[in-house]
Amino acid sequence: MLFTVDPNCGKSLYTQIYDGIRKSILCGELRVGEKLPSKRRLAERLAVSVITVGNAYAQLTAEGYLTAVERRGHFVADVIPSFPRESAAAARKPEPEPAEKEYTVDFQSRNLSPEQFPFTVWARTMRSVLLMQDTRLLRPLEYNGVFELRSAIAGYLLRERGIHVSPGQITVGAGTEYLQHLLIQLLGRERVYGVEDPGYPQTGMIYESNGAGCRRIPLRGGGVSVDELIRQGVDVAHVTPSHHFPTGTVMPVSQRQALLRWAEEKDGRYIVEDDYDSEFRFVGRPIPTVFGTDSGGRVIYMNTFSKTIAPSIRISYMVLPEHLAEQFKHCLGFYSCTVSSFEQYTLAEFISRGHYERHLSRMKKLYRQKRDTVISAINGSALCGRGRILEEDAGLHFLVRLSTEVSDAELRRRAEDKGIRLSFLTDFLHRYSPESEHNLVISYSGINTEKLPQAFNEIAEMI
Amino acid sequence: MLFTVDPNCGKSLYTQIYDGIRKSILCGELRVGEKLPSKRRLAERLAVSVITVGNAYAQLTAEGYLTAVERRGHFVADVIPSFPRESAAAARKPEPEPAEKEYTVDFQSRNLSPEQFPFTVWARTMRSVLLMQDTRLLRPLEYNGVFELRSAIAGYLLRERGIHVSPGQITVGAGTEYLQHLLIQLLGRERVYGVEDPGYPQTGMIYESNGAGCRRIPLRGGGVSVDELIRQGVDVAHVTPSHHFPTGTVMPVSQRQALLRWAEEKDGRYIVEDDYDSEFRFVGRPIPTVFGTDSGGRVIYMNTFSKTIAPSIRISYMVLPEHLAEQFKHCLGFYSCTVSSFEQYTLAEFISRGHYERHLSRMKKLYRQKRDTVISAINGSALCGRGRILEEDAGLHFLVRLSTEVSDAELRRRAEDKGIRLSFLTDFLHRYSPESEHNLVISYSGINTEKLPQAFNEIAEMI
């Protein structure tokens, strides 16, 4: 072997020997089957300790470059000579990724400002959970989440949504998207899933990306059309009855009844009720759930804390009818829950101590004020009389129907030039229809209200 | 309408009116199309304010029980009479779920004790992250995780695993299982996935549960057999080269080369390198990754913090070759990252400030001691001479080959009776083979060492 070692070169003697032999093998200088010098002899030749050579031989044997034969020594293993890429060589500092464009007014923004998150209470709760140093915090997670959180959610659902479920029916997961992954595995990808059109585009994309059949069901009178569900052969209808996204309509009770009847008519039909943002109803009482009126075990209820606490909190849950909860445990119980136990226990405490419901009522007030500010800004601007406000009673968005001939695409371009990002109903349509044009979707939870009056005047000028 | 209201019954007047009208509609007492009394008239009759009646009418209209016609009043909508289930009636306290059986000695346990988790540093880091109250913490998450964490992981991989990757190649997700979901969507479920047999059973179950073809590939000489990959038509080989689970073997360099060559031979072939627990190598240096020697963009690297920090921390990551990272962004960029931003920023700080590497070296020492204690307990027990310890140089488990005729199933039963939970190599085999019997898998990270000497004596008696 041709290599030497240098005690002053900055690398350890061990590394130099390991690298020297490895390179000799990879460049073909040492042949397959060739015997290496004994540890003692190599140690003498390189003027290092026998232990150092022994360690290098052991490592090369563990990695498969050498074979050790008892009482006979070390031999070159059957390795194909090659020149390995030395990746550490290219050690450059990672460049920051390109930032997203900043807008003066962004009607798509879901960014929150710090006063919209209960930092102090959350930090205190998290700290008290961590400092318990309970071994429960470190245990591998059950498939459906920690019992304390599921109990707290069951209590909340009873108090605020009037539905009675057992913690065993609840599954906690890192976001509604992930729960949808589980649902597809539970119900099967041979079933046909129906999603609302217009609707939240990700819902359909997730079904398709997971290899399940997905049909877009048009809305009729505030909810999906049951006739269309039947015509398109849908088995599972994924809907937002309390507050449709993005139109904001509430599914009327007659349609809920028709939907439940449709589900009960044939085995294997289900309704997925996505109850996102039902907490923020500003007028009257919360809309009752479909889940609560279902007596046949046909409704799967879903909701998320991403909308009510912060989009960066990834905790959602679904409530399964008893028979599906059993099946879920049996077939998919091998998964670990995807939410860290620290956050699960923190949220459980946050709910149990009443912080969550206090936070909701504070946010409801704040969002109502914010909505009123946005509406005043519209009414006080040149847009007044040229834009009709629709479905503003609930949730974190509403529509403005514009009296204009300018197309959505053109209007978007003009607004972009002024630093305004618009959102249209047509953005949420799978099948474009010209009669849906000219409806702005105003998401206001993350909007900068100061610049609004000017923005609305500018929009009025563009149309 | 037959209902009356009672100011002293405990329910608000509003609720009593709402419930009264709703029940009258649902039981068919009020017919479809029937006109309701004006707000003023009903208010007079019930001796309540007009506003209260107005609120109840508005809520019933929002839910679709009534239709409001301007200047004419409210009419009963087309609702099918039915008797809704009053779910709140069944308000019983949730019963705690049945606890898992407790064992005196549990060789399957992955539970940690509090001294195995850096509670103080983690709590301090989490608190400092929360108290920044930075708006970045509240933003909707990118599909691949926050830049700061991905940069910190890239730095760690360069320092500790000698591989150079850009943060853009890294995707953070809530557990390796979830990342596998994404991977199947990225590579497609029409591809054939090969998993190690024996191996971690969940890996294959996840491919199957997501509708992808999955083949079990037997091990030959420390790694999957490339001949079998070809014979079984595998496109993607999912392997654990640094430390095979559960045998603990290291894939020798010749097999790594053969595997890489196999992947390069045909378009669309990939290697998924699961590098779990490679951090805990007690003898010599860490085993180099296959990813680091791949120059053709054929290797997807995966690792998790669940093994090195705590199983209840759900943060894993994968590193994609550049061309797959591009494709991922394009096709699956619509997903939100599944790890809460608080934990992502906390972990980023934890790594960047050197806490993670200090924690690893502390745990390596602790686990080495624990392993030595377990081995001493075996050697000091009646099992000495009847059990051969294998592959104990790394990771959090090793094998003990037993000299016995007693079957694994029988031995498990006998141990259960003594409160000992055993784990066998045959538990991790998809296709049972008799020659794999009599190998105990000793997972010691969560084991109670006090009771070990007695447990090993008892096992010796059973065999």
Tell me the pLDDT band of A2, cut-offs 50, 70 and 90. Answer: low
- Tens digit of each residue's pLDDT (9 = 90 or more) over B310-350: 999 999 999 999 999 999 999 999 999 999 999 999 999 99
Q: How far apart, in whole angstroms, are the C-alpha atoms of residue B448 and residue B113?
A: 10
Rounded Cα distance, A192 and A195, in Å: 10
CA distance A305 to A344: 12
- Structural contact between residues B339 and B409, judged by C-beta atoms closer than 8 angstroms: no
* Phi, psi dihedral angles at A260 (to 5 degrees): -65, -40
- What 3-state DSSP class applies to B139? coil
**Rounded to whole angstroms, how far apart are CA atoms B198 and B397?**
15
Chain B closest CA to A306's CA: distance in Å?
9
- Highest-pLDDT range among A170-179, A454-463, B25-34, B118-127: A170-179
Collapsed DSSP state (helix, strand, coil) of residue B332: helix
| pLDDT for position A446 | 85
Task: With beta carbons under 8 A apart, name residues in chain B contacting A123.
Answer: 126-127, 130-131
Among B27, B87, B146, pick the best mutation site for testing chain A contact (most A Cβ within 10 A). B87
Question: Looking at the predicted structure, is the pLDDT value of residue B95 above 80?
Answer: no
Q: Is A102 exposed, middle or buried (0-12, 13-18, 19+ CB in 10 A)?
A: exposed
* A219-231 average pLDDT score: 93
pLDDT at res. B85: 47
The model's confidence at residue B93, banded by pLDDT at 50, 70 and 90, is low
- Kindly list the residues from chain B whose CB atom is less than 8 angstroms away from the CB atom of residue A116: 138
* pLDDT exceeds cutoff 50 at A86: no
In order of A222, B181, B209, the CA distances from A191 in angstroms are: 25, 19, 15
Q: Cα-flanking dihedrals φ and ψ of residue B211, to 5°?
A: 80, 15
Tokens for B463? 């065999």
DSSP codes of every residue in A322-354: HHHHHHHHHHHTTSPPSS-HHHHHHHHHHHHTT
As a whole number of Å, the CA-based R_g of chain B is 31
The reported pLDDT for the residue numbered A345 is 96
Question: In the structure, what pLDDT confidence band is assigned to residue A284 with cuts at 50, 70 and 90?
Answer: confident
Say if residues B299 and B331 touch (Cβ distance below 8 Å): no
User: What is this structure's pTM?
Assistant: 0.89
B130:A133 CB<8 A = no
For residue B55, give the chain A residue with the closest CA.
Answer: A284
For the record, the structure tokens of A1 come out as 């072997």
Which of A81, A69, A65, A77 lies closest to A21 in space, CA to CA? A65
Best of B106, B342, B347 to disrupt the A interface (most A CBs within 10 Å) is B342
Which chain B residue has the Cα nearest residue A286?
B59
- Measured at the CA of B253, the angle between CA B247 and CA B255, to 5 degrees, comes to 70
Of B79, B127, B177, the CB nearest to A335: B177
Residues 6+ apart with CB under 8 A from A323: A297
What pLDDT is attached to residue A91? Answer: 46
| Mutate which: A100, A110, A243, A342, vs B, most B CBs within 10 A | A342
Between B65, B151, B337, which is nearest A94 by CB? B151
By percentage, how much of chain B surpasses pLDDT 90? 70
Alpha carbon distance B172, B347 (integer Å): 11
Residue A145 near residue A172, CB atoms below 8 Å: yes
d(CA A425, CA A415): 16
- Gyration radius of chain A over CA positions: 31
- Position A132 confidence tier, pLDDT thresholds 50, 70, 90: confident
Which residues of chain B neighbour A126 with C-beta distances below 8 Å? 123, 126-127, 130, 342
Say yes or no to pLDDT of A89 above 50: no
Is the pLDDT at B82 greater than 70? The verdict is no
Q: Mean pLDDT of all residues in chain B?
A: 91
pLDDT at A218: 94
- Mean pLDDT confidence for A6-23: 88
Q: Which tens digits make up the pLDDT trace of A381-407?
A: 999 989 999 988 888 899 999 999 999
- When pLDDT is cut at 50, 70 and 90, the band that residue B414 belongs to is very high
pLDDT > 70: percent of chain B: 97
Q: In this complex, which of B90, B123, B175 lies closest to A127 when CB atoms are compared?
A: B123
Check whether B44 has a pLDDT greater than 70.
yes
Q: A340–B314: do the CB atoms touch at under 8 Å?
A: yes
Q: What is the pLDDT of residue A409?
A: 95
Q: Is residue A89 exposed (0-12), middle (13-18) or buried (19+ Cβ within 10 Å)?
A: exposed
Residues 6+ apart with CB under 8 A from B209: A185, A331, A332
Euclidean distance between the first and the last CA atom of chain B, given in angstroms as a whole number:
81
d(CA A446, CA A116) in angstroms, rounded, equals: 9
Of A58, A84, A91, the CB nearest to B164: A91
Partners of B55 on chain A (C-beta within 8 Å) are 284
Tell if the CB–CB gap between B178 and A178 is shorter than 8 Å: yes
| pLDDT tens column, B363-399 | 999 999 999 999 999 999 999 989 999 988 888 899 9
Residue A15 has pLDDT above 70, yes or no: yes
Find chain B residues with C-beta within 8 A of A27's C-beta.
none
Query: 3-state secondary structure string, A240-292?
Result: CCCCCCCCCCCCCHHHHHHHHHHHHHCCCCEEEEECCCCCCECCCCCCCCCHH
What burial letters (b/e) apply to B74-110, b meaning 16+ CB within 10 Å? bbbbebeeeebeebeeeeeebeeeeeeeebebbbbbb
A152 has a pLDDT exceeding 60: yes
Which range has the worst mean pLDDT, A70-84, A183-197, A441-455, B219-233?
Answer: A70-84
